[in-house]
Each structure stands twice: as structure tokens, then as C-alpha cells.
Chains A and B, each alone.
Chain A
Amino acid sequence: MRNSVAQARAGLGWSQQRLADELGVSRQTVISIEKGRYDPSLPVAFRLARVFGTTIEELFIPED
């Protein structure tokens, strides 16, 4: 699944560690999500959307 997490994070000027702390997950989790190698759980997806003030649909784009 593609996503715009990296762009949204850059828009806030946050580091990956800062975003990881906000979400309560490891920095590796943020790295893997941004690379599209890990689809986060629904609670993390909702937390991401809330942190960035957007919706899950705008952050994550299904590839099929």
C-alpha cells in the first residue's frame, strides 16, 4: 500500500523519532511505513490520521 506519511511528516518538520514518539511505536516502524514495507494496524493508521489532521483514505492509497 502506498502512503504519503513521509510527505505529511516533512510538512510538519518532524523527525521520524518525533513521529514515532507521537504514535507510541518504534522509529523502525515509522521507517518501514514510510518505505511502504509495512502496513500499520488500524489503531496506528487512525493515530497517524489524527496526528496529521487528515483521514486514513488521504494518507493510504491501495495499489490494486
Chain B
Amino acid sequence: MTSRFGRSRFGGSTATLLITSVAIGLVGGLALGAIAAMLRPDDPTWVVLLVFTASTLPIVAALAWVLLVDRATLTDAPRNPGDSIESAWLDTAASGAFWDIVAAAGLGAAALTFADGAGFSPSVAPVLVGLLVLAALDVGARYLHQRKIHG
């Protein structure tokens, strides 16, 4: 029997899988929040802990679900996802986005080199986050384009 969120590869119901995933997300989020709070001694500890836990909990919970779920118990999940057209669309999108990121990183590095010479040195974290967001949006847009022309 299949369901929208499937069942764990270690057995149990869908509810068990979801509760386990959220629990792992909570523990992981709290751990990351605690690390962030320790690394930011000047900021209010509870605020940092709360913000980091709240923002990382869904990500860690989703990751836990991905690692725990048995694909065969998911409704409409194909047995051979690698042979499906969606996989080909994703491969094409990721391949195109890779070269976009190489170009963006190259142009960005050149721009930052000049900016550094002019006394402007942005911190690394926002730049990397920007690159990550650009990569995700690029893959998403290219995937939708593939689906439109081949779907």
C-alpha cells in the first residue's frame, strides 16, 4: 500500500515516518541553533537559538524524510526514476546551470578583485548564498523550460 508521504524503510506507518522526521529536524535544528548561539556571544542567546532552530528545522526534517522514506511506498513514484523524462530534464537543466555558475563565479571573482582594490570587501557568506540561490533559480527555470518544450 502506498501513500503521499510513504513509509519508513525501517517499517512503521506514515505517521511514524513524519513524526520521526520532524523529531530529527527538531534535534538537528536545536543543535545548529546552539552552535550559532555559541558563535555569536554578543547576540541574545535565546533569539539566536530560536531563529536558527526555526529556519533549519524544516530543512533537516525534509532531509531526514528523504533519507528514511522507502520510495516503493510513495504514491505514483516510478520504479526507475532515472529512466523517466523528468530525470533527463533535470540533467539538462543542471548541466546548463553549471556553466552559468562557472561564468557567474568567474565574473563575480573579477568584480570582487576590482572592488577589493577600491577598498570594498564584502563578506564571503552573502556572496556564497547569492551564488547558491542563483544556481537553484537557474536549474528551476531551465527545468521548467525543458518541460515546456518537451512535455
Q: Which of B23-31, B52-60, B75-83, B120-128 forms contacts with chain A?
A: B75-83
Do A37 and B150 contact each other (CB < 8 Å), given the known contacts A26-B85, A26-B86, A29-B85? Answer: yes
| Distance of A31 Cα from B88 Cα, bound (Å) | 14
Question: Which residue of B is nearest A33, CB measured?
Answer: B85
CB–CB A25/B150 < 8 A:
no
Cβ of A15 under 8 Å from chain B: no
The answer on a CB contact under 8 Å between B150 and A43 is: no
Write out the residue numbers on chain B whose beta carbons fall within 8 Å of the beta carbon of A37. 149-151
**What residues on B are CB-neighbors of A33 within 8 Å?**
85
Q: How many residues of B contact A (CB 8 A)?
A: 13
Interface of chain A, main secondary structure: helix
| A16-B80 Cα distance, complex, nearest whole Å | 16
**Partner pick for A38 among B78, B79, B85, CB 8 A cutoff:** B85
Q: Among A24, A28, A32, A41, which residue has its beta carbon within 8 angstroms of that of B79?
A: A24
Interchain CA distance A21-B151 in the complex, whole Å:
18
Instruction: Determine the distance from Cα of A23 to Cα of B84 in the docked complex, in whole angstroms.
Output: 10
- A24 lies within 8 A of B151 (CB): no
By CB atoms of chain A within 10 A, which of B81, B83, B88 has the most? Answer: B83
With a CB–CB cut-off of 8 A, which chain B residues contact A23? 80, 83
**25 A-B pairs with C-beta separation under 8 A:** A24-B83, A25-B78, A25-B81, A25-B84, A26-B76, A26-B81, A26-B84, A26-B85, A26-B86, A28-B84, A28-B86, A28-B151, A29-B84, A29-B86, A31-B151, A32-B150, A32-B151, A33-B85, A37-B150, A37-B151, A40-B83, A41-B83, A43-B80, A43-B83, A44-B80
